[in-house]
Copies of this chain bind each other. A is one copy, B any other.
Amino acid sequence: MTRQFRSSNLPLRFDDDVAAYPVSKNEWLILKTDMFVGSTDIPNGMKVWQAARKAVVATVSDFASKGIRPHVIMLSLGLPSNITRSTVHQLAIGFRKGAEEYGCKVIGGDTGTAKDLVFDIVGSGFARPSEIMRRRGAKPGDIIVATGMFGKTAAGLRILSSNRKTSFRRKYHTLLTSVLNPKARLKIGVLLGKSHAVTSSIDSSDGLAWSLHLLAQLNKVNIKIDHVPIPNDVYRFANETSLDPLDLALYGGEEYEIIASVKPNQCQLLEQKIRSLVRIGTVESGNGQVILSTDHSEKVVEAKGWDPFRNS
């Protein structure tokens, strides 16, 4: 979206998850800025502190997917004029909680007046160029892995925006938790970066299908998915609500797993080190398609993304 700015001579391209500036030969300053808007990014049923914490988690996840540890967080807040002191306090608690969970320090910020509640999270850290996992680099033959399962947040958001009873909510609390208290895969991301086995990487915050499409298109390859890991709770929820579990897994969003392509001869060793990695597919030569391979059929996965207004 920021491609109107020139990106020549930048060590990381504008379309990657973070921006970089070389400090020395072996060290880059890494920056990421991410804006959250109350009217679009905070679903019904999410508390203000949870939204603030989640905004930090989303920024940490961008770092995690590059194998980089964020050190400091800055906050810029646009506050509606009718906001209460209590809400501002809750925001502060959420930001601090998110930062502390991932070992970041909140070092400053800015506040102003806006029509919407707006917060911009700025993350910063340092990285060795060789350990940064870029979006570009996947090659035919690489194996696609993910750091977890998919579909929980798409299900959880549907529960949040519904009028379901408390008993229903309690039954699917893991799905609700995935929305209200998401986690970024920072430790695993840093391990992946240090392994030098990863050829490209992205987080799944815009949805599994969308993220795979980005990887396929940026790398001018096809990605064939033969296993979409979906937790039992998502299957149960889908069954009870007559939804397709695969749709929930592919076209969800705000799910902060890392999706990475791994050199085929190093994948087994990596899986031994990181037990939670799941193989979901392979990279093939092609022109940017994502293909879902099930039993004896193959179908093209749509390049649909996560749309926060869609949860119905």
Contacts and interface: CB of A to CB of B under 8 A. Distances in A.
Contacts of A122: 31, 33, 74, 120, 122
A300 interface: no
A12 B74 CA distance: 13
B76 A120 contact: yes
Interface string A158-187: 000000000000000000000000000000
Contacts of A40: 112-114
Contacts of A10: 105, 107-108
A41 B115 CA distance: 12
B74 A110 contact: no
Contact of A2 (B5, B41, B111): B111
Contacts of A72: 19, 21, 29, 31
Copies of this chain present = 2
A126 interface: yes
- Classify chain A's interface size: 35 or more
A75 B2 contact: yes
A57 interface: no
A92 B33 contact: no
Contact of A36 (B21, B23, B112): B112
A116 B2 CA distance: 18
Contacts of A88: 4
A71 B22 CA distance: 11
A109 B74 contact: no
A75 to B, nearest CB: 7
A20 interface: yes
Nearest to A13: B108
B116 A21 contact: no
